[in-house]
Chains A and B, each alone.
Chain A
Amino acid sequence: MTDESTVIELKNLTKVYQNGVEFRALDNANLRIEKGEFVAIVGPSGSGKSTLMHLIGLLDTPSSGTLLIDGKDVTKMSDKERSGMRNRILGFVFQYHHLLPDFTALENVMMPLLIAGKSREKAKNVAEELLEKVGLEGRMDHRPGELSGGQNQRVAIARALSCSPAIVLGDEPTGNLDTKSGDMIYELLRQLNREYNQTFIVVTHNDDLASKADKIIRLVDGKITVR
């Protein structure tokens, strides 16, 4: 049974890597995440945090089990449907900013909107508004090579939010930053979460930051230990 408020549901979700030896990176994960929750995922290195994020972010496919997003079984979807969901329902922030190097900050934030088929004008308005929100109003026409790590990471967050996704995923979004900028970005995410009631799932090694989340999920050897 999935009720209205559940956005993500994992049922025995498993990811097995098979290069010679079988390796269970995610082992029978069962989990339910509610709409508007801010979830922190913690665990030692190699415990399967990124694997879980990639599965939820539809960047990877599970070996077995089911994954429901908005009540729909995404494991049975075509590439077109999955890419459509990545575009409109999911926003991904990586540890490294992963911006397109040939495009300016503004163009990078506009890109998901253009992919969604929005007009240039509409995309530009939304992107400008978001860049202002992350404090980059003066840096919109700079390319990633001309911005600092923290600035690029903020552009990446603006990009992840541009299509107003229901779910924002962050895989150590502050991992590459100093504590101060890290805290700032974390604060920004928390603030956006409260403001727009979007669901946030963030991987972090920082227990301090994790403690501020609504829910903490601990992974050990591919298994969810605390819910």
Chain B
Amino acid sequence: MGFGALWAYRLRSFFVVLGVAFGIASLTLIVTAVDGANRKAVEMVEMFGPDAALLFGGDFRKRAVGTRVLTLSMDDARRIENSLPGVKLVVPMRMKPGQTVKLGSRNYQDVQVVGATGDYAGAWNWPLAEGRDISDDDVAHGAKVALLGGTVVRELFGEDSPVGQVVFIANIPFQVVGTLVTRGASGGGHADVDNRVIVPLSTLMQRFNLDRKYFRAIRVKFLDAEHMDAHVENMRSLVRHQHHLTPEQDDDFTILTADEILKFLSMFKGGLALFLGITATIAILVGGFVLANLFSLSVSERSEEIGLKKALGAHRSAIMVQFLVEACGLTLMGGVLGLFMGLGLGQFLSRLDILTIQFSWKAFFLALAGSQAVGLVFGLKPAKQAADLDPIRALRGEG
């Protein structure tokens, strides 16, 4: 007989399953999204490097309209490299987004072209997949050589090796000298870090019509990661001095470190967890109340069955267990359905680049435990109601 009653009352069962499923789906989404955000944070810190800081032109914390963004010059970069203690590497960053890369008759659009000094791989903790890096020589001569990111390689070359081939960027021929490993941290779309081509900084500045004096950003790598706070403070004084800022004036630049990225991410994570947490709680409560109400109705409709079972010798506890098992059976189905709904929705949001979702066993067990808790908590009252029925009245249908 088992779950015969659940099938006999299948429409009702369906609503219970659905209600619980929505709750568990939100719960799954929270857990996977928070896990995803954690993983993303770790990834970003690794990518960024714990020993590095990024210096941006313009103060984008309190950015007034019309403030200058292009405030960092080649001179600033040189001063940091020569005068700031503990500095290992200074890489001025220039880029030109939205370029078209051509191979023969094939086009790939909207690629980010990044200018690099020598040793791009080392400066960005970004290993090469194949070939060689941009050399100091390339930079000195403004050579037309390029490193391709994973997405560009895949789109233009598929499985073939691009090293040694010639591609056209903005109709200028470049020889491919190497490729970067695919990082693929954030799926497709604009945030695709692998959708890039690296060329020598000098070449970029000469051929791509960029402002010759100023940089959007400078990347600074230090010898050790331990005294980052001090390093950042020193760099700030140095750049303020370089820019002749008086004590009353605000910074006209921003320094970003892995630590600060983490701080921002944890704020974002907290907000996300709160929002989804409220949603999940409401959904689970709704599912629970649907369960409690429909089961109460079930108990009165099935009073004849309950009375009969008591007459035939069922203890109070046996009736309670029967209804709790039915409730938990339904919420288990709801939990499993909700888990898949949550993971599916997560996948979808990942694709849209809104969230990063990562399946985890934690989510799996939380979904199951959550659904069982709903079954027990909200099934308890109807189950007690059933167990308390007077068998004679129940048999007369006076549940």
The judgment on whether A and B are partners is no
B interface residues, Cβ below 8 angstroms from A: none
A interface residues, Cβ below 8 angstroms from B: none
